[in-house]
Structure 1
Amino acid sequence: MSQLTPLTCKNLQSSSPTISKLRSIPKFSLPPKMAPPPPPHLTATFLLLLLPLLLTLSFPTTATPSADLLNELENLQSTSPNGVIRLNDNLLRRIISLPRPRPFSLLIFFDAAQLHEKTELQLPTLKSEFAIVSKSFIQNNKESSNPPKIFFFDIEFKDSQKSFGLFGVNSLPHIRLVLPHVDNLKTSDLMDQGDFSRLAESMSEFVESRTKLTVGPLQRPPMFSGKQIVFLLACLMICAPFALKKILAGQTLLHDYKLWLFGAIFVYFFSVSGTMHNIIRKMPMFINDRNDPSKLVFFYQGSGMQLGAEGFAVGGLYTVVGLLLGFVTHGLVKIRSVTFQRFAMAVALIVSFWAVKKVVYLDNWKTGYGIHAYWPSSW
């Protein structure tokens, strides 16, 4: 292999055009000397200060606990058919842990399934009336631009005994109103026991008087559905020709005087026995004795309550007096025997006196007020 001498290389450089062009390429100089990096502890401090800002810009702002719980309650209310939310210990704990004043109020109906069989408490009826108030409030205020925030709850004793203890509930029926500023649940507004007699109307007035909100007209379900009304109208149209034929022939019960006689007696008994009072308040015929559950109580001592048996007893005594009076004035005068007339008059007076005496005695026993005879000293 031949070796290139220095002369040969020199000649090659001078004769090659490519090498001449390479000489014309500018030379690149080295960059200036760079500054030294900052100390590591300053870099870490800067990153720690910048981290909160980066997290704020990277993630959306989370809602407050009050807003989260409010949205959850609104969802639960919308899924309930009547707007009543089932309350439990966990949900109540979350509600009372919110900062006061809370953004909403609570109306709570305390229930116990094992007491539904006690008719004197009327828990199923009161619960359905509570649902009517809830549904009416939601329907009447749903179109408002700023609907008032009050939620209706029911709570079961078997599932939430701790919550019953927080409110100090020891008897039913029981309804509580927890306003936004209330801290101690035992000091929340309690609905008076005497107000339950008017059912949903009393509950509505209780809410309006304590919260200054408007419940609006109560929207009760109709007595008959649309299909039932159509069926009744169809039956009426089918029976109308036959009924008209009987009426024109005078062969209906309305043409029988006995029906009117028994109807008059029934109306009289219905009025004097307080049956309408028992129907409106759904009073039971009797209750169990609190001291001895094996015994039944037919007469309740106290003017604030009347059982169905009481009303029937008083109505029966009044009806006996009325029937005797009607017999004496309309039947006895047609009998020719004077002896029988005198005997019947004496029996009617004695029985009527006994019946009135029993009514007066019962009134004295229930109310504690006595009725005394008054004899004038002079005429």
Structure 2
Amino acid sequence: MAISSISPFLLLHATLTLTLCLIPANAVVSDLTHLRSESSTGVIHLTDQLLKRIISVPTPRPFSLLIFFDFHRLHSSKPEINLPALRNEFSLLASSFLANNPDPNTNTNLFFFDIEFEESELSFRKFGLDSLPHICIVPPSAMDLGKDPIEMDPSAFSRQAESMAEFVESKTKLQIRPIHRPLTSSRKRLIFVAVVVVICSPMLLPKIDFKKSILVDKNLWMGGAILVYFLSVGGMMHNIIRQVPMFLGDMQDPDGLVFFYKGTQTQLGTEGYAVGFLYTIVGLLLAFLSHAVVLEKSRSVQRSAMAFVLFASVWAVKKVVVLDNWKTGYSIHSYFPHL
């Protein structure tokens, strides 16, 4: 059909329909600013209707969205996922952004949202989520919620608000830091106790009889050394500093847990401890060879012990290599130089 043959009434109707479907950006920004002002932390509660209204704004939109995905049922059934603590860090991130950007011309470039699964399951499906915790940035040009949002690196949101801010700043070029973290009363008490212990330590040390103390027990020090070795190779300090969860909840199975995360984006606590356990086996077996087997006078017993240690060590190292290949996608193979 030629364009000239189309009825002017139909053209006018189509134009008006398209105009009504595209919501003006200024109106949405004004509504979001009002909703944010009613929140004590600056985080807006996102619903299916509000998300539909935001997505209706023509791209590129004048703002980005940072969304925290929550599931209240997991707070009690999966407390190890630590969603409430992550939600608090997210709120701290939002309040710090507003404190560092009081100018309305700049703080409307980014809005913080939280969305709950049971209230807005339709929106969850649009984002294609399969596990929690999950935080993502919806850039101004995003049209497909399943592909266009920028997923926050799990190693970032598993830590505190400072690492979240670093990620958001790198993607949006907006200033989030510094994080304005309140000094809690519990932290004050810990500082007070530490100061008292430091002050009283010179008076308490002379009264301790170290010859009869448990501190000189060699078994205690040996056990402590093994524990430190296990925690070191298992990435304990990494888990503490970055507040890495032991495992994640499986969105596809409400009763399931994810202990091993495929991909280099993050490392769960169970992954580190599994590798640490395998390395500890090798270390203990080597210590057994150098301290116990050498004292055995029977050659046959020595050979049998050495064969067992070598077999078990090769098995443990092979498991580590297999796990690394599965997680990173890179293969580690032997190299034989050409003679």
Show CA shifts across 1:188-240 (max 9, x none).
842236x1222245643443344321222334555873542365147637964
Q: What SS class does the counterpart of residue 329 from structure 1 fall into?
A: helix
Which AA in structure 2 matches 1:161?
E
- Residue in 2 aligned with 1:80? 39
Distance change >3 Å, CA 348–CA 206, structure 1 → 2: same
Matches within 5 A, 1:1-379: 70=29, 73-96=32-55, 104-116=63-75, 117-118=77-78, 123-142=83-102, 144=103, 146-149=105-108, 150-164=110-124, 167-173=126-132, 174-180=134-140, 184=143, 186=145, 189-192=148-151, 195-199=153-157, 200=161, 203-220=164-181, 225-229=186-190, 231-233=192-194, 236=197, 240=201, 243-247=204-208, 251-279=212-240, 280=242, 282-284=244-246, 300=260, 302=262, 304=264, 308=269, 311-330=272-291, 335=295, 338-339=297-298, 342-343=299-300, 345-366=302-323, 367=325, 369=331, 371-372=333-334, 374=336
AA aligned to 2:222 is: L
Give, as a single letter, the amino acid of the residue that structure 1 aligns with 2:71. A
> Is contact 1:196-1:202 (8 Å) kept?
no
Moved more, 317-326 or 264-273: 317-326
The structure with more radius of gyration: 1
Farther-moved stretch of structure 1 (348-357 vs 205-214):
205-214
1:50-101 Cα offsets, whole Å, 9 max, x none, are xxxxxxxxxxxxxxx8667645544543443432111223433444455766
Aligned-pair identity (%): 42
Q: Distance in 2 between matches of 1:107 and 1:311?
A: 30
* Bigger relative CO (Cα 8 Å, ≥ 6 apart): 2
Partner-residue secondary structure (3-state), 1:147: helix
Whole-Å Cα distance in 2 between the matches of residues 306 and 345 of structure 1? 39
Taking structure 1 as reference, are residues 314 and 68 closer, same or farther at Cα in structure 2, changes over 3 Å only?
Answer: closer
What secondary structure does 2:176 align onto? coil
Paired residues of 1:107 and 1:177 also in contact (CA < 8 A): yes
Task: Please give the per-residue CA displacement for 1:162-183, whole angstroms capped at 9, x wherever unaligned.
Answer: 4445x4434344444344565x
Q: 1:100 to 1:84 in 2, by over 3 A?
A: same
Secondary structure (helix, strand or coil) at the match of 1:338 reads: coil
Separation in structure 2 between the aligned mates of residue 313 and residue 96 of structure 1, nearest angstrom: 43
TM-score of the aligned structures, taking structure 2 as reference length: 0.67
Name 1:24's counterpart in structure 2.
none
Distance of aligned partners of 1:171 and 1:247 in 2 relative to their CA distance in 1, 3 Å threshold: same
Residues 26-65 of structure 1, C-alpha deviations (whole Å, 9 max, x = no match) = xxxxxxxxxxxxxxxxxxxxxxxxxxxxxxxxxxxxxxx8
Structure 2: which 5+ residue stretches go unaligned?
1-23
Q: Please tell me whether the aligned partners of residues 106 and 153 of structure 1 are also in contact (alpha carbons under 8 angstroms).
A: yes
> In structure 2, do the counterparts of structure 1 residues 371 and 287 end up closer, same or farther at CA, with 3 Å as the change threshold?
farther
In structure 2, what is the Cα distance between the partners aligned to 1:312 and 1:155? 33
Q: Does structure 1 retain, via aligned residues, the 8 Å contact 2:69–2:116?
A: yes
Structure 1 unaligned residues grouped into runs of 5+: 1-64
User: Contact between 1:269 and 1:315, CA under 8 Å: does it hold in 2?
Assistant: yes
Determine the C-alpha separation between the residues in 2 that align with 1:288 and 1:186: 20
Distance 1:360 1:91, change over 3 A: same
- The 3-state SS of whatever aligns with 1:133 is helix
Contact 1:177/1:190 (CA < 8 Å) preserved in 2?
A: yes
C-alpha distance in 1 between matches for 2:168 and 2:317: 40
User: How many residues are matched?
Assistant: 304
Q: CA deviation at 1:153?
A: 0.6
